[in-house]
A = this chain, B = another copy of it.
Amino acid sequence: MPSAVVLVSGGLDSAVTLALAIAEGFEPFVLSFEYGQRHHIEIKSARRVANSMRVADHRVAQIDLRVFGGSALTDEIAVPRERSEAEMGDGIPITYVPARNTIFLSYAMAWAEVLGTGDIFIGINAVDYSGYPDCRPEFLRAFESLASVATKAGVGGARLKIHAPLINLSKSDIIRKGTDLGVDFGLTHSCYDPAPDGAACSVCDSCQLRLKGFREAGLVDPIRYAK
């Protein structure tokens, strides 16, 4: 059974990505990141998601993405609320964290090298997050090229493959696929700005995309919303 490093944030997309990695026959080594102040609750969800599936290991790397500021997800900038889809799709959102996926994949590459595997799964999506430069296929191909010269394994001729099985799927397709694979969406977390008790706000971009996805899939979102 080949092993793979799977990035799991605690969100809906990465939960489906983990289920897909398992369905494809990989033994998953799950990697999550704790960073910034807003998303502490994500780590709880990541642990619940990993525990709900057959994973070989789960590591949480403490990393500091607040050191430079520059994003509503790590800084004190307010998260935008109740924006229309047109507004969401307009340019690069302020929830963009500079170089975030590059940093995440660098860690995944480090662990892959230690494990001796060349497969990494990441739940990025180019449909909902069209404004994020590091959610596009050309970014993933450039990272694979970098890996071929950046590591012992790469220099030795091994190729790193970054699997992004959700990259071109709509949110409703992702939800349908996860439902087919038995993903418990009640364990996942998407809100950028949850209430102190963990309830999702329902009005940030992430909640809106999630709720619309469930509506379009004809399913009910099992998580709790503040309103």
Contact = CB atoms under 8 A, between A and B. Distances in A.
Interface of A is mostly: helix
A108 B146 CA distance: 16
**Count class of interface residues, chain A:** 35 or more
Interface in A112-169: 113-114, 133-134, 136, 138-139, 142-143, 145-146, 148-152, 154-155
A65 B134 contact: no
A150 B144 CA distance: 13
Contacts of A150: 99, 101-102, 133-134, 139, 142-143
Residue of A92, A96, A133 with most chain B CB atoms under a 10 A cut-off: A133
A155 to B, nearest CB: 5
A1 interface: no
A61 B59 contact: no
**Copies of the protein in its oligomer:** 2
B70 A98 contact: no
Interface in A71-107: 92, 96-103, 106-107
A63 interface: yes
B68 A152 contact: no
A140 to B, nearest CB: 9
A21 interface: no
Given A62-B62, A143-B146, A145-B146, A106 B102 contact: yes
Interface of A: 59-65, 67-70, 92, 96-103, 106-107, 109-111, 113-114, 133-134, 136, 138-139, 142-143, 145-146, 148-152, 154-155
5 contacts: A59-B67, A68-B111, A70-B114, A99-B107, A142-B150
